[in-house]
Amino acid sequence: MSWSRRGSCRTEHGTECEGGQEREHPGPPPTGFSLLPWLLMGMGAFSHLFQGKTPNPWIGGLGLLAFNSLYIYVVFRAFDQRARTARPTRLALLLLFLVTCGLAIGYGGTWLLFLPLFGLAAGASLRGPLLGRIGVGLGLFAGIVAGMREGWNGINIGYGTFLSTVVTAVILSLSDAVRELRAAREELARRAVEEERLRFSRDLHDLLGHTLSVIVVKSEAARRLAPRDMGAALTQITDIESVGRQALTEIREAVTGYREGGLGTELDRARSALTAAGIEPVVRRSGPPLTPGAEALLGWVVREAVTNAVRHSGARRCEITVTGTAERARLTVVDDGDGTSAGRSGGPDPVDSVDPMDRVGGTGLRGLTERLAAAGGSLRAGPSPRGGFTVTAEVPLDEGETVESDGARLGSSVG
């Protein structure tokens, strides 16, 4: 029986899954316990010692105790990177080598199996670019020592020592690499999710901020017009309905990740919003057609800049200019306001009364600055030398994606 919580689940086989897909559990990392069973290779030497077939049994017993103790110490520290390269570990490995040489040379026979055991400990501890040379050196040394005691049969001991050293090191290194790659993949996935959340939050802020501002402005205009011109008020109400329906469509598209803002559409909406707020819109557009990506980016800038002009500027005139070359496109939005959102309802709104300088650090412009910078563009916003507020955006154009812009270019001022 499986259970789920917050988008994750656990199946009856013990694997986790996310979004309906099972995610394999890597399990705990290997430890020194994985190399302890190999000590059973020394049971033959222990049996001979226990049966009294080994000369100088006290020396053999102490040597066996020393080998087992040093082997356990080394292999358990070999699975911690910091402990593996520490001086005590290297010193213990050297002592283990000397004990192994003494037992193998002094007794021979089954005691020679301690040479491949030492290879296991060395392979677990000495991982790196010198592994091949170390493995070959230990194999040759073990083969010479075993040959002195067993003749040609010592070749098997040398080969076994080489294999135990190299194979152990390779397997453990691959295990570490797989775990590091898995951790890196999970980190990349986590960052991708965070970036997507940030992108979506920016899109939602820009989308709803502009749309709600247009609805508020048109609602205020309808309220002012209703007592003296019901027809004009109904026109504003119709526009509110149209903006609301369009907002619903855009939100659905934004949620599914397929929203593509058109610059021509945004310019039309900007004229409508500025006119409803009592601001004269002037729109000029020239230059080559823009790519879809550039149009989308500049559309967001138009949306945010016009929203700020409507809410905060107190302007009487707002100029929007789009120019470009074959490599780059530029958008400039200039208003003549003083930052005192003049009373659309009869007096200044304390919430909307914002100094133009404060608009530079707003969430919308800050998010657009980051977005344009990621695309190789730039955004500058600040007070104009002759008064008012200026927003300038530049984006690069990709010639391979150039498409015709929507509608005819706007070459005249719109009052």
User: Would you state the pLDDT for residue 340?
Assistant: 57
Q: What's the DSSP call for residue 309?
A: I
Beta strands at 317-324 and 328-335: parallel, antiparallel or unpaired: antiparallel
- Number of other residues whose CB lies within 10 A of the CB of residue 157: 25
- pTM (two decimals): 0.45
Q: Which two tokens stand for residue 112?
A: 């020679």
Distance between CA atoms of 259 and 2, rounded to whole angstroms?
Answer: 37
Instruction: Name the one residue in this structure whose structure tokens are 């955006």.
Output: 393
Q: For residues 221 and 215, what is the distance between their CA atoms, to the nearest angstrom?
A: 10
Q: What is the reported pLDDT for 200?
A: 72
> Bridge partners of 322?
285, 331
Mean pLDDT (10-residue bins), the chain, 415 residues = 41 44 57 82 79 82 89 89 87 92 86 89 83 85 84 84 88 87 87 80 74 84 86 86 79 59 80 88 89 85 87 87 90 83 38 36 68 88 84 78 36 33
Please state whether beta strands 317-324 and 280-285 pair in parallel, antiparallel, or not at all (unpaired): parallel
CB 377 within 8 A of CB 235: no
pLDDT at residue 212, as a whole number:
80
Are 295 and 261 in contact, with CB atoms under 8 Å apart?
yes
Residue-level pLDDT at 364: 67
Measured distance CA(352)–CA(305) in Å, rounded = 15
Cα 185 from Cα 192, distance rounded (Å): 10
Alpha carbon distance 77, 87 (integer Å): 11
Neighbours of 385 (CB within 10 A): 7
The confidence score (pLDDT) of residue 414 equals: 31
Tell me which amino acid residue 331 is: L
Q: What pLDDT is stored for residue 39 in this prediction?
A: 84
The pLDDT score that the predictor gives to residue 25 is 55
| Pairs from 234-243 (Cβ < 8 Å, separation ≥ 24) | 236/276, 239/272, 239/276, 240/215, 243/211, 243/214, 243/215, 243/218, 243/269
